[in-house]
């Protein structure tokens, strides 16, 4: 007999076995117990969270030989046929391949015939959002007032695409993503039944990779069992999902933190040469950058870090080299690169550009510090203060203490159309940075390695502004 994958072999047999959807299971069991079953249900949620399983359980509960009951026996012919998905009175329809209005017309005509052997004729339409607008309109009347022996069950991953007229005729249940801890417990139970040895870290990693989907996690577990050869370890899981070592990913970000563009690109090339998928690599970089942000803001002991990541001490060491603003900007660069990489044939230049931009953050000054310096200069200018005999440093413009200065356009730069009329206010003749050097006064020194707040002529920001606008700082003729 052909091998049956774990996702099918361990499909839940009762409402109580459905992982992570306890509120929905309780509601449906209560409806069955009090004979308040609706004629149409809509199950919404991401892939692999139990929508089809719940639909089959509800069908079994309605058609079981002992039913309707909230606890179907699972042993009668009807229960077993529904569990396999081949019962004659439970029609599972693929909405993606039966989208036309003609398909709905056939459904409406057959709905009037009573079930062959069961209590209810149940139509389960998977991915119902794929139906055409005409098909939805053709289904409205039958959905609103179906025959007493018919129950409609719909499931979708995109409920926002359903018309409001369909939504208003169904009882809607939203299936949530299953927590990784619950999935890990389920995987441990399956490994015991399959007599497979597995490390707890490895199962946690598989559960995290499932991203809330039990089916995806079981598929990864199947793959890891086939790869492991007897025991599932974290390295086995990493190899089966094609993930790079967390230490190597951290080394890339560490190079970016130091502004070492060449080192970051060399490490990226090494990972790509090892066969790591570029899309998966960008996702790992995003996760690692996110972990750095978590460590930076919440501390190294936060229970929010990726299990594929490196040691917390190493994370904390690299996080110290980034500011929170740099990590936020870096995550934006990586997310943009991951989004753009999906639509090009060769995405390597996009990934390299993201690393170059991330490394360039090391050269950028934090905006609060820049604003504080500008505010200090503005206050010094407003108070008419300047540096007290500040000695010019090498490579900087030299202005004697107490000498008035002004910014003049460089050669070839445009000059003002007309000079100010005689007697005009002196404040309007001199730009702010130049005026800051007119009057010697003692000011509070700025941060180490930076000129004093009042020494506007020597401040790198002022010098940059003068350079960008084609001016220069020189002595005033007056």
Tens of pLDDT, residue by residue over 3-36, are 889 999 999 999 999 999 999 999 999 999 999 9
Residue 470 banded pLDDT, cuts 50, 70, 90: low
Same domain, 383 and 331: no
Same domain, 79 and 152: yes
Count of the separate structural domains present in the chain: 4
| 410-443: pLDDT as tens digits | 444 444 444 444 444 444 444 444 444 443 444 4
Asked if the structure places residue 417 within a domain, the reply is: no
Asked if the structure places residue 215 within a domain, the reply is: yes
Asked if the structure places residue 155 within a domain, the reply is: yes
Same domain, 397 and 277: no
Q: What is the mean pLDDT of residues 224-237?
A: 84
* Last residue within a domain, chosen from 127, 149, 174: 174
pLDDT value of position 440: 41
Residue 235 banded pLDDT, cuts 50, 70, 90: confident
Same domain, 25 and 166: yes
Asked if the structure places residue 321 within a domain, the reply is: yes
Listed range (47-51, 275-279, 447-451, 453-457) with the worst mean pLDDT: 447-451
* Last residue within a domain, chosen from 241, 271, 290: 241
Record the tokens describing residue 34, joined without a space: 């009090």
> Which CATH number covers residue 193?
1.10.8.60
Residue 366 banded pLDDT, cuts 50, 70, 90: low
* Last residue within a domain, chosen from 222, 241, 260: 241
> Which CATH number covers residue 87?
3.40.50.300
For the chain, give the percent of residues with pLDDT over 70. Answer: 79
Residues 194-211, buried b or exposed e (16+ Cβ, 10 A)?
eebebeeebbbbbbbbbe
Same domain, 123 and 260: no
Q: What is the mean pLDDT of residues 90-115?
A: 91
Same domain, 184 and 266: no
Asked if the structure places residue 336 within a domain, the reply is: yes
Q: What is the mean pLDDT of residues 138-167?
A: 93
pLDDT value of position 67: 78
Q: Quick check: 457 and 436 in contact, CB under 8 A?
A: yes
Mean predicted lDDT score pLDDT of the chain: 81
Listed range (91-95, 344-348, 370-374) with the worst mean pLDDT: 370-374
Same domain, 51 and 140: yes
Asked if the structure places residue 421 within a domain, the reply is: no
Helices (H) and strands (E) in the chain — how many of each? 20, 9
Same domain, 83 and 36: yes
Residues in CB range of 82: below 8 A, 6 or more apart: 56, 59, 60, 63, 90
Q: What is the mean pLDDT of residues 69-94?
A: 91
Same domain, 135 and 189: no
Angle between helices 246-257 and 261-273 (to 10 degrees): 160
Same domain, 298 and 346: yes
pLDDT value of position 39: 94
pLDDT at 446 over 70: no
Q: What is the mean pLDDT of residues 140-154?
A: 93
pLDDT at 254 over 80: yes
Listed range (119-133, 162-176, 371-385, 458-472) with the worst mean pLDDT: 458-472
pLDDT at 468 over 70: no
pLDDT at 274 over 90: no
Q: Which of 175, 29, 156 is nearest to 96 (CA)?
A: 156
Residues in CB range of 105: below 8 A, 6 or more apart: 138
Residues in CB range of 299: below 8 A, 6 or more apart: none
Q: Which of 71, 112, 109, 116 is nearest to 90 (CA)?
A: 116
Same domain, 166 and 24: yes
**Domain coverage including residue 226:** 180-241
Same domain, 231 and 275: no
> Which CATH number covers residue 343?
1.20.272.10
């Amino acid at each position: 007999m052909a091998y049956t994958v774990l996702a099918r072999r361990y499909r839940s047999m009762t409402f109580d076995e459905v992982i992570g959807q306890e509120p929905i299971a309780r509601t449906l069991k209560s409806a069955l117990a009090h004979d308040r079953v609706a004629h149409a249900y809509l199950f919404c949620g991401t892939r692999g969270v139990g929508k089809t399983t719940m639909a089959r359980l509800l069908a079994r509960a309605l058609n079981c030989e002992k039913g309707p009951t909230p606890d179907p026996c699972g042993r009668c012919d009807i229960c077993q046929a529904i569990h396999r998905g081949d019962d004659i009175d439970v029609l599972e329809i693929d909405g993606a391949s039966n989208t036309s209005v003609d398909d709905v017309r056939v459904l409406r005509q057959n709905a009037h015939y009573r079930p062959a052997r069961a209590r209810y004729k149940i139509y389960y339409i998977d991915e119902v959002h794929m139906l055409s607008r005409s098909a939805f309109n053709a289904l409205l009347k039958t959905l609103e007032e179906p025959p007493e022996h018919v129950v409609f069950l719909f499931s979708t991953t995109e409920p926002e695409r359903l018309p409001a007229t369909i939504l208003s005729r169904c009882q809607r249940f939203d299936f949530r993503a299953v927590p990784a801890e619950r999935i890990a417990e389920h995987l441990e139970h399956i490994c015991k039944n399959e007599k497979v040895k597995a490390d707890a870290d490895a199962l946690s990693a598989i559960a995290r990779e499932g991203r809330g989907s039990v089916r995806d996690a079981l598929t990864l577990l199947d793959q890891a069992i086939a790869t492991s050869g007897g025991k599932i370890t974290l390295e086995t899981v990493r190899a089966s999902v094609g993930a790079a070592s967390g230490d190597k990913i951290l080394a890339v970000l560490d190079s970016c933190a130091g502004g070492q563009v060449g080192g970051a690109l060399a490490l990226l090339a090494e990972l790509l040469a090892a066969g790591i998928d570029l899309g998966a690599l960008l996702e790992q970089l995003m996760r690692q950058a996110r972990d750095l942000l978590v460590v930076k803001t919440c501390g190294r002991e936060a229970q929010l870090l990726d299990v594929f990541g490196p040691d917390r001490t190493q994370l904390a060491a690299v996080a110290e080299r980034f500011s929170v603003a740099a990590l936020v900007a870096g995550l934006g660069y990586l997310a943009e690169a991951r989004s753009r990489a999906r639509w090009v044939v060769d995405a390597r230049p996009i990934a390299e550009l993201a690393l170059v931009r991330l490394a360039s953050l090391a050269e950028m000054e934090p905006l609060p510090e820049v604003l504080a310096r500008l505010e200090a200069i503005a206050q010094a200018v407003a108070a008419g203060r300047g540096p007290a005999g500040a000695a010019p440093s090498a490579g900087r413009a030299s202005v004697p203490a107490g000498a008035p200065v002004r910014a003049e356009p460089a050669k070839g730069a445009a000059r003002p159309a007309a000079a100010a009329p005689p007697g005009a206010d002196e404040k309007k003749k001199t730009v702010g940075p130049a005026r800051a050097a007119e009057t010697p006064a003692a000011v509070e020194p700025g941060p180490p390695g930076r000129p004093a707040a009042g020494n506007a002529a020597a401040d790198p920001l002022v010098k940059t502004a003068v350079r960008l606008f084609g001016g220069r700082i020189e002595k005033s003729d007056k």
